[in-house]
Amino acid sequence: MIRKIKNNELNRLTTDEFKLVEKIPFILILEDIRSLNNVGSLFRTADSFLLNRLILTGITGTPPNREIHKAALGAELSMEWEYHSNIVEIISKLKDNNYQIWALEQAEGSVSLENFKINNNSNIALILGNEVEGVSEKALENCDGVIEIPQFGTKHSLNVSVSAGIAIWHIAMQMHKKTQE
């Protein structure tokens, strides 16, 4: 018989414990994300996989915010985050700190997600773009590469928080595996 696990059996970290745990060197950059629900969902996903932090840019809403909190379920309190108005400057700063910058986008020369492999000691920053316009040209010009999720139906885009969840899982699993080797 299958039994659903109760929340109190999951042994989840408290917010204070979470802040002390070592995170993987994986940063999400949210560029001009207009939906506060998407922002909250991205905080929650980042928390789930022990990402280092989120960087919010442009028009992306920031905590504290009731709509973000509703989707994040408090992850905006556990996750480190910062705001920068200029995405090109933050990309440059991250590159100076040994981060590879990847965009999640449909673009020429992209790497299909199933073929994306991290280097042994890679620090990764993944840019997620606006719900309508995607990742900006100025951000793309400064990336080390582009990751694309293959799609097969009539629609050729996914919600930003859905596509982020797929890509984050793929990358984070590789990074967590490397920390256990």
d(CA 78, CA 61): 17
Q: How confident is the model at residue 163 (pLDDT cuts 50, 70, 90)?
A: very high
Q: What is the pLDDT of residue 88?
A: 98
- pLDDT > 70: what percent of the chain? 99
Buried residues in 93-106 as b, exposed as e (16+ CB within 10 A)? ebbeeebbbbbbbe
Average pLDDT value over all residues in the chain: 95
CA distance 23 to 101: 18
Residue 156 has a pLDDT of 87
Residue 180 has pLDDT above 80, yes or no: no
pLDDT score of 119: 83
pLDDT in tens, 57-86: 999 999 999 999 999 999 999 999 999 999
- Say which amino acid occupies 63: P
Q: What is the pLDDT of residue 147?
A: 98
pLDDT computed for residue 153 by the predictor? 94
Q: Can you read off the two tokens belonging to residue 98?
A: 């040994």
pLDDT > 90? residue 179: no
96-154 pLDDT, tens digit per residue, is 999 999 999 999 999 999 999 998 778 999 999 999 999 999 999 999 999 999 999 99
Using DSSP bridges, classify how beta strands 99-104 and 145-148 pair: parallel, antiparallel or unpaired: parallel
Burial category of 107 from C-beta neighbours within 10 Å (exposed 0-12, middle 13-18, buried 19 and up): middle
Tokens of 163: 């596509």
